[in-house]
Structure 1
Amino acid sequence: MIERYALSPLKELWELEAQYERWLEVELAVVNAYEKTGRIPQGTLEKIKSAARIDLEAISEIEKQVDHDVIAFIKFVTQGMGDEARFFHLGLTSSDVVDTALSLAVRKSGRFIVSSLEQLSRALKEKAIAYRNVVCMGRTHGIHAEPTSFGLKFLSFFVEIERAILRLNRAIDGCSVGKLSGAVGNYANILPEIESMALGELGLRPTAVSSQIIPRDIHAEFLSALAIAASSIERMAVEFRHLQRTEVLEVQEPFKKGQRGSSAMPHKKNPIICERLTGMARLIRSYAGASLEDIALWHERDISHSSVERVVLPDATMLLYYMSEKSVYLVSNLVIYPERMRENFKASRNLVFSQRIMLALIERGMSREEAYRLVQELSMDCWNGSLDFKQLVLTNQVIAGLMDSEEISRLFSPEYFLRNVDFVFKRVLNGG
C-alpha cells in the first residue's frame, strides 16, 4: 500500500518484520507442542527462543541465494542455535507456517477494521437521531419523488454498516483457522495432536480438510466481506457527493482552514473525501475478484495464489481501514443545511404530493386509472408551465366536486410523510 493511505496500526501489521515475527510465533508454538508431548527434550523451546532473532537485511541476502523466503527465514533464524535447531520446523512444510501466520494477520487486521466500523456505526446513529424529524426531498432516479426524513438516510447507512460488521465478524471467524498438516495435508510427518495443541496456543482452529494450504474460499469470503463493506461506505459517499452539488447543496464535506479546492479556482470546495472513498471501493472490489480467482488451484496446491495475496490482503485491509477512519471524520463533521432542504422542496412546486391527491381521489370513489390519469394531466401542466401543482388541484372542477379546499390543503403537508418514521427508528434501535 502506498504511504498516502497506510494508517497505523494496519501499516505496521503488514510490514515484513511483523510477518517474520508471526512465522516465528507459529514455529515456536509447534516446538512447544512437541516439548509438551515429550517428543523433543525439555528445555528445547527456551533454547530456541533465546537463540532466535530476525534481521530483515540478512534474511533478504539469503533469499537472493535460495530464492525461497521461508527457507531463507529458517536458515537465518536457526544459524545461532545448537543441536536444538533440528527441532525447528520439524515435520512442517512452508505453507504450514505461511498460511497459519497469515490467518493471524487476517484476524488481527479484521478486528482493527471492525473496531473502526463500530465507531462509524455510532457516528451514523447519532446523526440519524439528530435529524430524524428534518424533512428533505426524497429522490428516485435523481428526480424529486416524495418528502422523507433526512435522519432516515443516516439510519439506512447505520443499519448497512451494522450488517457489514456482522458479515466481517463471520468472515474473521472463518479465517481463524490454521493448518500444520504437512506437505499435502495428510499428517504423514506430523501428528494431528501437535497441530491441535499448537493452533490452540495461537487461538486458531484446525482446518477441517487441508491440502498443502488452507482452502482459498476462506480468504475469498473475507475479501468479499471487505468489498461489501467498502461498497456500503461508497453508497454513503455517493449520496453525500450528490447532495453537495452546487444546485443541491444540502450537505458539505468539512473544509478546514487553509484547505484549497483547486489550483485555478479559489472558490472551489469539492467532495474530495467522498470521491476518494468511491475510488477505494473500486479497488477493494477488484481485490475481491482476484481472490475468487485463487480458489481453483492445481491438485494439492500451486503457487499462483501467492503473488495475488501478497498484494490484495494487505492492500484491501489497509484501504478499508482508511475508508472507515475517513468516514468517521466525514460523518462526524459533515455540514448539513436544513434550510437548503426546505428551498429544494419548494422547487418542485408541490408536485411531490401527486400520490397523496391520487389516493384521496381513489378513497372518494374514483377508479385508480381515472385518478392516475387526472393527476398526471395536472402534473404535466405543472411541469410544462409556471403554476403550482397545489393551485392546479384547487382549481380543478372534478376534484372540487369530491373534496373542499380545506381537505385538499391538508393533503399538502410535508410532515405527513414522516408519520411512520418513528416506527422505523424503533424497529431498528429497539429491535421491534
Structure 2
Amino acid sequence: MESLFEALFYKAEVNALFGAEAYLSAMLRFEAALAQAQAEQGMIPQVAADSISRCCTLDHIDIPSLIPAIGLAGNPNIPLVKQLTAAVKQLDSEASKYVHLGATSQDVIDTALMIQVKAALILIQKDLEQLLNQLHQLAETHRHSIMAGRSFLQHARPITFGYKVATWMDGLIRSFQRIDQVLKQNLVLQFGGAVGTLAGFGDRALPVASSLAQKLDLTLPPISWHTQRDRLVEIASSLGILTGNLGKMAKDISLLMQTEVAEVFEPSGVGKGGSSTMPHKRNPVGCVAILAAAQRSPGLLSTLFQSLPQDHERATGQWHAEWLPLIELCKITAGALQQALHMTNGLEVDTQRMLWNIELTNGLIYAENLSLALAEKMGKAVAHEHVEGLCKQVASTQAHLKSLASADPIVSKYLNSSGIDQLFNPANSLGDCDRLIDAVLTLLPQRL
C-alpha cells in the first residue's frame, strides 16, 4: 500500500534505500567486510575471505524463504547467515567455517541500519541545502514585500514576506547543522560480539574493528553500543525537528492560501490541488503532505525515546521496537523535504493582495505605532488606554483609525498631520526587518 502514497508522502530514492533488497545488501556488505578484515589480521585464510565476499550478493539469497524464517528466528540476520553459509559451502566448504566468525546478529543489523541511515541523511542534507537556497532567493526577492504580521491568527502589525521566509530559514539552518553533526559523530560501527567485549577476537579485536569501520565508511566508537541507543535517538530527534520546522512553513503557507487571505499559493499545475467535487478548489496539497509528516514524527520519535532504557547487554524488545520507526522517520522526512522543494520552487506571492489585506481592519494594524508615539508624550499606560478607546470606535463605527486619530483633540495636541501620516505608512512600521533578514542569511553554511 505504501507505494500508492510514494509521490505524496515519500521520496522514491530514499524509500529504495530501505527496501528489503537494500537492507539485505547492507548486511551482506558487513559480512564481506568482516571476512576481509579478519583475513588482514590472519584470523582466517585470505582465500576463505574471498570466497565469503564472492557470495555476499543477493544472487545467493532466497528472499521469499527468508521472510518466514525471520519470524521464527526473531531477527533477519540469523536466517541470512544460514543461507550465506550454505552458499559459501557450495563454493568452498572450508571457507564456510569462517562465515560470521565472532560477530553477533546485532552487530550486523545495527551496522546495516547505520549504512542505510547514512545514505538517507546524505540525500536529506542535499535536499535541505537546495531548499535553503530557494528560500534565500525568496527572502531576497520579497525583502520589501509588506504584509500583515499575525498574532493568534489576527492582524498584529506589518512585517515583510522576506522576514517571514527568514524566520523559516532560521529553524531550517539549525536543522542543517544538526544533520551535519549527526553525519560527523553519530554514524558508527556496531561491533562487539555476544556481549560487546569482542571476546572472540583476542588481541586482534581492535585492528579488525578498525579495518571493518574503514571498509564500511563508518566511525569506530570507543565501545559497543548494543544497549546504549542515544545516538539513534539523536538521529531521530534531528529528523523530527526538521520535519516540524518544515511543518511550520507549511502551516503558514496553507493559512496564507485561505480564500479570505489569498496572499501566497503553492505553484499551480495540471491535476495539482483539485477537488473531486468542486471545480474551483485549489487545495494546499504540498502543505498537507508536509503537515502529515510533522503529525506522524512525534509518535515515531516517542517509540525511540521509550526504547532507551534497555536491559543488560542485549535488549528484549526495545531494540526490535527501534527498527521500523527510525526507518519511517527517514522516509517521511525525505518526503516532506521533497514537497517543500516543489512548493517553494515557483511559490506564488500576491504582493498587492498583501497590501490590500493590511487595510482590512481600517488602520488598527497601526494602533501600536500611534500608542508608542503618544507614549513619549503621555506615558505608556495613558497612551495605551486612549488608543484602545479609539480602536473601539473603529470597531463600532467602521471609521478608519487614522481619521479618528486626526480628529481627536488629544492626539492632535501631540502629533501634527504629517506625523500621523508617517505612523500610518506601512513602510515605517517594519522595525528591524531588514537587519534581521540579513542576520539569518549570514548564518547560511558557506557551501550554500
Same fold (TM over 0.5): yes
User: Does the 8 Å contact 1:350/1:388 carry over to 2?
Assistant: yes
Which stretches in structure 1 are left out of the alignment for 5+ residues?
A: none
* 2:118 aligned partner: 107
Aligned to 2:22: 18
Q: In 2, distance between residues paired with 1:225 and 1:51?
A: 37
The superposition leaves residues 145-182 of structure 1 with CA deviations (integer Å, 9 ceiling, x where unpaired) of: 11111111111112211111111222333431112111
- Give yes or no for contact 1:179–1:214 (8 Å, CA) kept in 2: no
The alpha-carbon deviation at position 248 of structure 1 amounts to: 0.7
Instruction: Name the structure 1 match of 2:181.
Output: 170
Q: Paired residue for 2:383, among 371, 375, 385? A: 371
Conservation of the 8 A alpha-carbon contact between 1:164 and 1:225 = yes
Measure, in 2, the Cα distance between the counterparts of 1:238 and 1:178: 38
Runs of 5+ in structure 2 lacking a partner? none
Query: Do 2:30 and 2:108's aligned partners in 1 also have CA atoms closer than 8 Å?
Result: yes
- The reply on whether 1:210 has 2:217 as its aligned counterpart is no
Give the letter for the 1:237 counterpart. A
What's 2:171 paired with? 160
Taking every aligned residue pair, what percent have the same amino acid on both sides? 27
CA contact (8 A) 2:48 2:94 kept: no
Q: 1:38 aligns with which of 30, 35, 42?
A: 42
| Cα distance between partner residues in 1 of 2:263 and 2:38 | 65
AA paired with 1:182?
A: G
Aligned to 2:244: 231
Contact 1:110–1:172 under 8 Å retained in 2? yes
> What displacement does 1:257 show?
2.5
Deviation at 1:298, TM superposition (A): 1.5
Q: Map residues 169-318 of structure 1 onto 2, 5 A cutoff.
A: 169-190=180-201, 191-210=205-224, 213=226, 215-259=228-272, 261-318=274-331
Aligned pair partner of 1:146 in 144, 157, 160: 157
**For 1:367 and 1:60, how far apart are their aligned partners in 2?**
76
**Equivalents in 1 of 2:425, 2:72: separation in Å?**
78
Q: Kindly state the Cα deviation for residue 214 of structure 1 after the two structures are TM-superposed.
A: 5.5
Bigger shift: 142-151 or 408-417? 408-417
| SS of residue in 2 equivalent to 1:136 | strand
Answer yes or no: is the 8 Å Cα contact 1:351–1:389 preserved in 2. yes
Q: Aligned AA for 2:85? A: T
Q: Which amino acid aligns with 1:282?
A: Q
**Distance in structure 1 (CA, Å) of the matches to 2:365 and 2:349:** 22
Listed one character per residue, the Cα deviations across residues 117-168 of structure 1 (whole Å, up to 9, x for unaligned) are 1111111111111011011011101111111111111111122111111112
Following TM superposition, where does structure 1 have runs of at least 4 consecutive aligned residues deviating by more than 6 angstroms?
A: none
Q: Secondary structure at the residue paired with 2:46?
A: coil
* Residue identity opposite 2:433 in structure 1: V
How much has 1:58 moved relative to structure 2?
4.2
Question: What is the CA distance between 1:261 and its match in structure 2?
Answer: 2.5
Amino acid at match of 1:89: H
* Residue 258 to residue 24, structure 1, CA distance change in 2 (3 Å): closer
CA RMSD of aligned residues (A): 2.0
Does 2:385 align with 1:381? Answer: no
Q: Contact between 2:145 and 2:162, CA under 8 Å: does it hold in 1?
A: yes
* Residues in 1 aligned to 2:320 and 2:280: alpha-carbon distance in whole angstroms: 45
The alpha-carbon distance between structure 1 residues 275 and 202, as it changes in their structure 2 partners (threshold 3 A), is same
Letter in 2 for 1:369: A
Secondary structure of the 1:204 match is: coil
**1:64-108 CA deviation, whole Å, 9 max, x = no partner?**
665652121111112132201111111111111111111111111
The amino acid that maps onto 1:263 is S
Q: Does 1:75 align with 2:61?
A: no
Q: Give me the TM-score of the superposition, normalised by structure 1.
A: 0.94
1:49 aligns with 2:49: no
- 2:144 aligns with 133
Contact 2:273–2:285 (8 Å) recurs in 1: no
CA distance in 1, matches of 2:75, 2:155: 61
Q: What residue is the counterpart of 1:84 in the other structure? A: 95
| 8 A Cα contact 2:48 2:95, kept in partner | yes
Residue identity matched to 2:78: I
Alpha-carbon spacing, 1:306–1:214, altered in 2? closer, same or farther (3 Å) = closer
CA distance in 1, matches of 2:250, 2:16: 28
The count of corresponding residues between Structure 1 and Structure 2 is 430
Partner of 2:2: 2
**TM superposition shift of 1:206:** 2.6
* Partner deviation per Cα, 1:364-407 (whole Å, 9 max, x = no partner): x3121111111111111112222110011101111211222122
**Separation (CA, whole Å) in 1 of partners of 2:74 and 2:224:** 25
Name the SS of the counterpart of 2:345 in structure 1.
helix
Q: For residue 232 of structure 1, report the CA deviation from its aligned partner.
A: 0.4
SS in 1 for 2:378: coil
